[in-house]
Amino acid sequence: MSTALAEHTGLWTIADVEEIQDQGAHNRYELLAPGVLTVSAAPEPLHQRASRRLANLLESAAAAAGVVNVEILEAVNVVIPTRPARLPDRLCVPDIAIVDRQIADEDTTKFPPGSVLAVVEIVSPSTHINDRVVKPDLYAAAKVPLYFRLELEGTAPELLVFELHHTGNHVHLATAPAGTRTTITRPFAFEVDPAALVARP
């Protein structure tokens, strides 16, 4: 067990999380509630296959659209400010994030909300409540413009797209079902068939 985990007392902060040393399990550490550490097991191969392929697809689409001010990254720290400010900020680790390239070039360990254009969560059996309920609310609170959710638990995968509404919530924008190529227009146009994201090589 990491020394930071074994010896920690009191509320967790982002600085505390950054001190946790990976012991080879590749767990993900988040602060989905202020001061409370959430530990998720390393994703399974199907999840990772879909994540890598979707990140590659988004990267190619951004290049094709001539969008040069963003970078597509997997499993980065996104800061969610907490109100009231006396409580520690929260921390999410989306499976994929589309971020401001200028901030990424600073080799930061975490991204403030204004630098995150979109996030993708890939629903896993161990994280589906967080991916479907908890994290969407946090991303909306942080004013992240777009939230994608790739569902892998049903009979066929599907990609759902949500856009931040002026009411402060993400509203459903589009669904890409398995077996067809669906065009998603935001944050730049790309075509996706969720079945191809999980198909064996």
Averaged pLDDT score across all residues of the chain: 93
Sequence-ordered list of residues with C-beta below 8 angstroms from that of 32, at least 6 positions apart, any chain: 38, 90, 92, 130, 134, 135, 138
Q: What is the rounded average pLDDT of the residues 36-63?
A: 95
Domain assignment present for 79:
yes
Give residue 125's pLDDT: 76
115 domain-assigned:
yes
Per-residue model confidence (pLDDT) at position 123: 93
pLDDT at 103 over 80: yes
Q: Note the pLDDT tens digit of each residue in 158-182.
A: 999 999 999 999 999 999 999 999 9
Domain count, the chain: 1
pLDDT-based confidence at residue 188 (cuts at 50, 70, 90)? very high
Whether 2 has a pLDDT exceeding 70, the answer reads no
The set of residues, in sequence order, having a beta carbon less than 8 Å from that of 73 and lying 6+ positions away, is 55, 96, 97, 99, 104
pTM for this prediction: 0.94
- 38-42 long-range contacts (CB < 8 A, ≥24 apart) are 38/130, 40/124, 40/126, 40/127, 40/130, 41/126
- Whether pLDDT at 30 is above 90: yes
Residue 121: inside a domain: yes
Range with lowest mean pLDDT among 67-76, 117-126, 191-200: 117-126
Residue 38 lies in a domain: no
10 occurs within a structural domain: no
Distance (Å) of CA 155 to CA 78, 105, 151, 177: 31, 40, 10, 11
Distance of CA 158 to the CA centre of its chain: 16
pLDDT at 25: 75
* Residue 3 pLDDT grade (very low, low, confident, very high; cuts 50, 70, 90): low
Residue 23 domain flag: no
Q: Tell me, what's the pLDDT at 84?
A: 72
- Structural element, H or E, at residue 183: strand 182-184
- CATH number of the domain within which 158 lies: 3.90.1570.10
> What's the length of the chain?
201
Asked whether the predicted pLDDT for residue 1 surpasses 60, the reply is no
| pLDDT tens track for 59-87 | 999 999 999 999 999 999 999 998 777 89
Please say whether the beta carbons of 110 and 78 come within 8 A. yes
Range of the domain at 107: 43-198
Given a cut of 80, whether residue 108 has pLDDT beyond it is yes
DSSP secondary structure string, 83-112? Answer: SSTTSPPEEE--SEEEEEHHHHTTT-SSB-
Distances (CA, A) of 193 to 10, 48, 155, 178: 45, 17, 15, 6
Q: What is the pLDDT of residue 75?
A: 95
pLDDT, residue 13, reads 95
> Is 56 a member of any domain?
yes
Residue 51 lies in a domain: yes
